Chains A and B, each alone.
Chain A
Amino acid sequence: MKRTAVLLSSLLALSPLSAAAQDAAKMGELERKLDVLTQEIEKLKLGSSVVEPVAEKGDKGLAPAASKVYRAATNKVSIGGYGEMTYTNASRRKQNADPSGSKSVADNARAILYAGYKFNDWILFNSEIEFEHGSTGKGRGEVSVEAAYLDFSVSGPLGARAGTLLVPMGITNEVHEPTTFHGVKRPSVETNIIPSTWRENGAGVYGSLGPVSYRSYVVAGLQAVSNTGVTGFSASSGLRDGRSSAAKSWAEDLASVTRVDYEPVPGSLLGASVYLGQADQDFVAAAVPVTIWEAHGRTAWRGAELKALYAEVRVGNADRVNAAQGVATGATGTSSVGRKMFGGYVEGAYDVLSLLADGKGHSLSPFARYERYDTQADTPELWGKNPANSRVEYTAGLTYKPIPQVAVKADHQWLRNQARTGVNQWNLGIAYIF
């Protein structure tokens, strides 16, 4: 009997019906394994925090689309950077045909590393470490902490930052990566009127609601006069040399700066900012109120880009600053700090490769920029003006980007002033961001 049963089962195992069942079982098992494998691949591609998120306490009550997943489990450290190298060839003649005495310069202008760390989905640290002009060894370059702050991203309308912050004024100061602006050099108005790159220690809030965004910080004030490594305000560079660059900034005087931007359509922006502060830092026997306001706008449509900015500066008690700085009065006294400064520019560009159906991601943009600025628009009584500080500049050139992260630039600058001592120059540059 037992032998018969073994024989029957052997026959059944050999029958076509049994083979099909086994094949089906094998196929089912293969499909199951394949499904597991594709799910594992998906998890690897998208990240386990997206596919299998770990819910945190109190995560009820908000619609799923109201917030985003910031990967907390992996990729906590962020490294990035940008840089630019430039060549400037200055004209041998000034505007008035006198010898300029200017030399050509090849410069490793900036090599910057970003380092960030994401502690969790709402607290991150961000920093920008800047190496300027190749080396500190020759007394020409410097290493600086351009930004280093903690960011508390609570919700869309409200966040907070504290640390070394970029002052939120103008177009270029906060977004100064060289792939983001045309021209080898930054706009002069955003160097001499808004002293980019301008960073300072402070804290504040930021956020956005629909098309409106804002930033409002309290920061250490500027330093109007020379002391402990800061040279103070000047006739030709305006507020620029009054920046402490977050290096043990005197905080006897503070300042507030608030910016509001409105984005009517993506890629177009209208905004303004106001800076109110004091700059005596107890080195001047009087308060030195500083007020800066600016309005800016930019738009882009298809290959065309247009941007414009106007800024004004008022310095109170500029005569007391001059006295503290030892600026001579009378006929030779043309080195006064301006008690009013202003500047504006308008720039247009067109990416001609956008006309091609498939530009392969390249862009080639001829651009032109007009700038007018004066760091001595008004000076205190007893002090005269230097007409060389009333300037008009024209820049025309090309920006070529083989990929969005790399730019090759060339331009010519006609630099004019009312003293007719301007020196034209042409510039070449390469820039990258990663």
Chain B
Amino acid sequence: MEPRHRVHLLSACLALAAVLLGGTAAHGRALLSQKDALALAFPGAAPERRTAFLSEEQAAAAEKAARAKLGSRVWSYYVAGSTTAYFESHPVRTMDETVMVVLRDGKVAFVEVLAFAEPPDYLASPRWLRQLEGRGLDDELALRRGLRGITGATLTAEALTRAVRRVLAVHEVIHSTR
């Protein structure tokens, strides 16, 4: 092996070692649990936990509005003032993602990813998630319409869009009959 190739190899080994050492120190990172997520959604407030038990008719109406299957007729959510937070889990490719969708006055305030079991390459960036802010349940809340895709992770973008549509549709159904 020529000297310059040894330099290649040595630099690769050093980089790997540095990352692994860094990893050992940092691997116990803070977790974004449901509790932490709620603290983000309701800073300084104690939200009330409520549960909606949708009738078959309500579920059908929500699925029609969402253009997606609900998966459940039992929806727990958290409320304080005009802010409501929903938690939703869905498969991306074969593994699940869990998100918190925070609504304010019926529109998306922000979306936070709590858990993502697919490889990290497919995770939606915070910049992509920001596209959802201020959106309501309309025809523009769709990929190739009002939303841009995620380069190299179309399935994540599709799954997240469906999740947000589901939450908005359930929210509408719950609050139209209260």
A60 to chain B, nearest CB (A): 7
Query: Is B51 an interface position by the 8 A CB rule?
Result: yes
Which residues of A lie under 8 Å from residue B32 when comparing CB positions?
64-65, 67-69
Contact in complex: B127, A211 (CB < 8 Å) = yes
Count of A-B contacts with CB under 8 A? 222
B77-132, CB < 8 A from A: 87, 89, 93-96, 98, 112-120, 123, 125, 127-128, 131
* Cβ contact within 8 Å between A404 and B155: yes
**Number of interface residues, chain A, beta carbon within 8 A:** 97
Shortest CB-to-CB span from B47 to chain A, Å, is: 14
Instruction: Give a binary string over A242-283; 1 marks a CB under 8 Å from any B CB, 0 the rest.
Output: 000000000111111000000101111100000000100000
Per-residue 0/1 for B57-81: is the Cβ within 8 Å of any A Cβ (1 yes, 0 no)?
Answer: 0000000000100001010100000
A70: chain B residues at CB < 8 Å are 115-117
Main secondary structure of the interface of B (DSSP, over half): mixed
The CA-CA distance from A45 to B1 in the complex, in Å, is 55
For this complex, into which size category does the number of interface residues on chain B fall? 35 or more
Q: Which residues does chain A contribute within 8 Å of B87, judged by CB atoms?
A: 42, 45-46, 50
Which of chain B's residues have a CB closer than 8 A to the CB of A175?
152
Find out whether the CB atom of B116 lies under 8 angstroms from the CB atom of A57. Answer: no
B residues near A, CB below 8 A?
1-2, 5, 8-9, 11-13, 15-16, 19-20, 22-23, 25-34, 36-37, 39-40, 51, 67, 72, 74, 76, 87, 89, 93-96, 98, 112-120, 123, 125, 127-128, 131, 139, 142, 144-145, 148-152, 154-155, 158
Across the A-B interface, give the 9 residue pairs with the lowest CB-CB distance, nearest first. Answer: A267-B148, A64-B36, A58-B28, A218-B12, A160-B19, A354-B144, A56-B28, A67-B29, A62-B30
Q: List 10 A-B contacts (CB under 8 A).
A: A41-B74, A47-B115, A120-B27, A155-B22, A160-B15, A203-B12, A208-B125, A267-B149, A267-B150, A360-B67
19 other A-B residue contacts (CB within 8 Å) besides A64-B36, A71-B117: A49-B115, A50-B114, A51-B33, A59-B28, A64-B40, A66-B29, A66-B30, A69-B33, A78-B95, A121-B31, A122-B23, A159-B120, A211-B127, A263-B151, A266-B148, A278-B2, A357-B139, A404-B154, A404-B158
